[in-house]
Chain A
Amino acid sequence: MSMVFIAVTALVLLSLVFGAILGFAAVRFRVEGNPIAEQINALLPQTQCGQCGYPGCKPYAEAIASGEKINKCPPGGEATIQALAELLDVEPEPLDAVEGEKPQMVAFIREAECIGCTKCIQACPVDAILGAAKQMHTVIVSECTGCDLCVEPCPVDCIDMIPVAGTLQSWKWEHPLPPGTLIATDREALK
């Protein structure tokens, strides 16, 4: 009888102790906000272009966290979809965009035509356009994310989106053909 009593007491005490520890941990190490949305946001390209239909990358990250599809980010492209699929453990889907994946673009203001209306400055989500009212505007290339939000508000259509020119530093080696995809007799034809 006393054995049973001791066992029960021990278990009760243990559960009390662990309950207290868990309760303390729940309060002490409480995670503010939704950590998964934060992780998703870290994978998005932060162009803030709104092409996904959300007003920025963070809202889209939050939407993904609550069940939105992961294939709505054209600037991120396949790489982002892959990364998101891996993070969320879902099947990667093809990119949901009319024009598909685009190369990295940068905005360019034809300065001679700029009338200094500041509309593009207000549209730029990352403050990458420099200028003032009735003064010529220009794009800070290193800060431009290529979101093309500045193109539409321009009343004189003097903003072009041009693909970023590759430099020696940004040049990449090509991936070789996977082994077995090319046989010796085909090589001559390839040349």
Chain B
Amino acid sequence: MNIWPIHPLRGGVHPPECKTLSNQQPIQTAPLAKQLIVPLLQHLGCSTQALVSVGDDVLKGQLIADSKHFISAAVHAPSSGTVSFIGPQPYPHTSGQLLDAIVIDTDGLDRWCPLEPLANFKEATAAELLEKIRQAGISGLGGAGFPTVVKLSPKADQSIKTLIINGTECEPYITADDVLMREKATQLMLGIDILVHILQPENVLIAIEDNKPEALACVRSALQQRNYYVVAVPTIYPSGGERQLIQILTGKEVPAAQLPAQLGILCQNVGTVVAVHDAIIEGKPLISRITTLTGQALRTPMNVECLVGTPVLELLEFAGLQQAKMSRLIAGGPMMGFTLNALSAPIIKTSNCLLAATAEELPAPPPAMPCIRCGDCAEVCPANLLPQQLHFYALGDDHPQLQAHNLFDCIECGACAYVCPSSIPLVQYYRAAKADIRELEQKQVKSEHAKERFEFRQERLRLEEERKEAERQARAERLAKTKADQAKKAAQAEAAGQQASTADDDVKRLKIAASMAQVALRKAEKQLETHNTEELKSQIEQLRITAEQAKQALAAINAAAPTPAPSKPVDDDLKRLKIAASMAQVTLRKAEKQLATHNTEELQTQVEQLRVNAEQAKHALDAATAAAPTAVEAAGVTEKAAKPELSAAEQALKKAKIEVAMKRAALRKAERAEADAESLAALQTELTQAEQSLAELN
């Protein structure tokens, strides 16, 4: 037989084993419970989702809950029956919290669903076998309940050189693995064969504490020609811890925050290996386990093969529970287990022991006394930590120091608290401190996430605001442009209006002049009737021409007035007016001459009339000449005036906009540079001022 060298564990304690209580009889089969409570989470990792609904009939071994997440394990119906409830149910946990579970009312028939056994696993590939293990929902049965398939799928850069099968079972009272190795050694060997087929390790070590000679003998006899090492490790608590066992068997320490796989080592509990055998060779999913029922409050302590989901109370009653004697029910062993308050909680995949202890057996811990710095704890710590220092740092909530002293390497084995002469519940301190640190870390992660989201939202709002601002500016620019256009048009219209009004005046005057000339003509004709001289005739002729011309001028200006280019008609009008005025002047002078020769009263009045006519014509001309250039000038001036005014406004607007943009850029820069609040505020006020002035301009 091969001998494997072992490296004794540093530290550790020897608590009373009390294993003979339960390992004296073979494994019993627990009676089928009427109701099975199957929690959706029985392992480390993600919870599963129920695949059945209330009222569904399920068969034994049927998949009832699964998860798509890698680190998770499927859940199967432990027996046939009907799903009666899905929801919060008692759960074996210190907190006593409820957890979602599928409740199955069993029909007592235990009908299996069709199974797919694979007797010749050597023909299957590793991937096929792993898939079968995954489908069987196997998680570690030793205690932590890590999904086995995840452990069996090492990363590509890691190859497993040493496979360790952990049958040490170092914790007092628990004998589940002990009896399993005695009774199921052949299955264990086949299970190891399967793991070897999957992992192809160089060495396979089966570690069993030397306080289990029967188990050692059974395993050795089942070994046959296999090239595995069966190593009897010295009994010490906690030799069964994964890291401790690796240290005992290989002398290597798994570095902090690393996995054994990084050293090429893989550890599996014997119960898990048997479950792998059942899953592959028999096709059975993990629906039952071997649980130790022990403690002096039980009449017949024993190991039972019980279905997952069986209520704790039914199992204890099967083992002859004396409720009056029981002071504490512990799930797990006395060192690492926890007090279970709810007797209705079910057995789950990780429940390896139920310890119904009497008050004498597990007395309540005496009150803690102050630490006397004896150092016993440091001597027994299997993880080479300084429990005393950790205790003081935990008291002071000194998280950085706790982490510096490798609090997270503590396996919470309880050896330090076991030896503490002051009865300080050291592990409780470490658990609380670990939980605090984890909580803070989670909070930190959450706050980082919230910060990221907040900043992203701020950025999004800023971009949106910028876009809106740009649109607003564009709108304002458009508005200003249309305003300027309107102003231009208005100025043009005004100039045109002025011209029109002067033309109107001209027309009025011309009309007056024309009617006056007509009147003068008529009067001269009357005179001619009475006096009938040659001179008068020619005079009348002249007057007629004048009147005609005045009429023509009026017609011309009437025709010209609506034309859009007013300067030319104005010129024409002026010309005509000039002609009319000079004509009137000429007739006036002629009449005056006549008056000087004839000097009649009629002639005098006629001359007077003519003078008035001439004067009026002159006035009209003067007015027209005065109006024409002013109109033209006015048009020019308004045009000119509108232009510079507009450009000034535009320039101001542009300036203001540039200023706002510069201020904004400065503010942003300052923000990015995380300038102090004062300068930021100053920049902000400057920006708002600039924005205000811009708004005013707009």
Q: A71: CB under 8 A from chain B?
A: no
Q: How far is the CB of A166 from chain B (nearest CB, A)?
A: 7
The interface stretch among A30-38, A95-103, A110-118, A155-163 is A30-38
Which residues of the other chain, A, contact B440 by a CB distance below 8 angstroms? 79
Q: B359: CB under 8 A from chain A?
A: no
Q: Give the CA-CA distance A182 to B429 in the complex, in Å.
A: 16
B622-673 contacts to A, CB under 8 A, are 672-673
Q: How large is the interface on A (under 10, 10 to 19, 20 to 34, 35 or more residues)?
A: 35 or more
Which residues of the other chain, A, contact B549 by a CB distance below 8 angstroms? none
Q: Give the CA-CA distance A60 to B524 in the complex, in Å.
A: 105
Q: B436: CB under 8 A from chain A?
A: yes
The interface stretch among A2-10, A13-21, A41-49, A131-139 is A41-49
Question: Contact: B424 with A44, CB < 8 Å?
Answer: no
Which residue of chain A has the shortest Cβ distance to B394 in the bound complex? Answer: A175
Q: A126: CB under 8 A from chain B?
A: yes
Contact of A176 with B428 at beta-carbon distance under 8 Å, contacts A46-B454, A57-B451 already known: yes
Question: Contact: A171 with B676, CB < 8 Å?
Answer: no
Question: Contact: A187 with B364, CB < 8 Å?
Answer: yes
Q: Give the CA-CA distance A74 to B66 in the complex, in Å.
A: 40
Question: Contact: B457 with A179, CB < 8 Å?
Answer: no
Question: Contact: A171 with B97, CB < 8 Å?
Answer: yes
B368-385 contacts to A, CB under 8 A, are 368-371
Q: How large is the interface on B (under 10, 10 to 19, 20 to 34, 35 or more residues)?
A: 35 or more
Which residue of chain A has the shortest Cβ distance to B678 in the bound complex? Answer: A66
Q: B366: CB under 8 A from chain A?
A: yes
Which residues of the other chain, B, contact A143 by a CB distance below 8 angstroms? 449-450, 453
Q: Give the CA-CA distance A122 to B95 in the complex, in Å.
A: 39
Question: Contact: B454 with A48, CB < 8 Å?
Answer: yes
A147-184 contacts to B, CB under 8 A, are 166-168, 170-180, 182-184
Question: Contact: B97 with A166, CB < 8 Å?
Answer: yes
Question: Contact: B367 with A182, CB < 8 Å?
Answer: yes
Which residues of the other chain, B, contact A41 by a CB distance below 8 angstroms? 451
Which residue of chain B has the shortest Cβ distance to A174 in the bound complex? Answer: B432
Question: Contact: B439 with A170, CB < 8 Å?
Answer: yes
Question: Contact: A62 with B676, CB < 8 Å?
Answer: yes
A44-98 contacts to B, CB under 8 A, are 44-48, 56-57, 59, 62-63, 66, 79, 82
Question: Contact: B450 with A32, CB < 8 Å?
Answer: no
Q: Give the CA-CA distance A87 to B300 in the complex, in Å.
A: 60
A-side binding surface: helix, strand, loop or mixed?
A: loop
Q: Give the CA-CA distance A169 to B672 in the complex, in Å.
A: 39
Which residues of the other chain, A, contact B395 by a CB distance below 8 angstroms? 178
Question: Contact: A33 with B428, CB < 8 Å?
Answer: no
Q: For A66, give its contact among B94, B95, B454, B677 (CB under 8 Å).
A: B677
Q: How far is the CB of B679 from chain A (nearest CB, A)?
A: 11
Question: Contact: B674 with A32, CB < 8 Å?
Answer: yes
Q: Give the CA-CA distance A123 to B431 in the complex, in Å.
A: 39
Question: Contact: B450 with A145, CB < 8 Å?
Answer: yes
Which residue of chain A has the shortest Cβ distance to B443 in the bound complex? Answer: A45
Which residues of the other chain, B, contact A176 by a CB distance below 8 angstroms? 368, 425, 428-429, 432
Q: Give the CA-CA distance A179 to B394 in the complex, in Å.
A: 12
Q: B125: CB under 8 A from chain A?
A: no
Which residue of chain A has the shortest Cβ distance to B438 in the bound complex? Answer: A172
Q: How far is the CB of B576 from chain A (nearest CB, A)?
A: 74
Question: Contact: B677 with A62, CB < 8 Å?
Answer: yes
Q: Give the CA-CA distance A178 to B425 in the complex, in Å.
A: 10
Indicate with 1 or 0, residue by residue over B93-126, a CB within 8 angstroms of chain A CB atoms.
1110101000000000000000000000000000
Q: Which of A79, A125, A168, A186 gathers most chain B CB within 10 Å? A: A168
Question: Contact: B369 with A180, CB < 8 Å?
Answer: yes
Q: Give the CA-CA distance A166 to B99 in the complex, in Å.
A: 11
Contact of A126 with B450 at beta-carbon distance under 8 Å, contacts A173-B431, A184-B367 already known: yes
Q: For B435, give its contact among A32, A168, A172, A184 (CB under 8 Å).
A: A172
B65-102 contacts to A, CB under 8 A, are 91, 93-95, 97, 99
Q: For B370, give its contact among A62, A125, A180, A186 (CB under 8 Å).
A: A180
Contact of A45 with B428 at beta-carbon distance under 8 Å, contacts A126-B453, A172-B436 already known: no
Which residues of the other chain, B, contact A179 by a CB distance below 8 angstroms? 368-371, 422, 424
Which residue of chain A has the shortest Cβ distance to B398 in the bound complex? Answer: A86
Question: Contact: A186 with B367, CB < 8 Å?
Answer: yes
Q: B36: CB under 8 A from chain A?
A: no
B425-478 contacts to A, CB under 8 A, are 425, 428-429, 431-432, 434-436, 439-440, 443, 446-451, 453-454, 456-457
Q: Give the CA-CA distance A180 to B423 in the complex, in Å.
A: 11
Contact of A48 with B429 at beta-carbon distance under 8 Å, contacts A170-B439, A179-B368, A184-B366 already known: no
Question: Contact: B674 with A47, CB < 8 Å?
Answer: no
Q: B204: CB under 8 A from chain A?
A: no
Can you list 22 A-B contacts (CB < 8 A)? A32-B674, A33-B674, A45-B450, A46-B446, A46-B450, A48-B450, A48-B454, A57-B451, A59-B677, A62-B676, A66-B676, A125-B457, A126-B454, A143-B453, A168-B91, A171-B97, A173-B432, A173-B435, A174-B428, A175-B429, A177-B368, A182-B367
Interchain residue pairs A-B with the least CB separation, the first 7? A33-B674, A172-B435, A46-B447, A173-B431, A179-B368, A46-B451, A126-B453
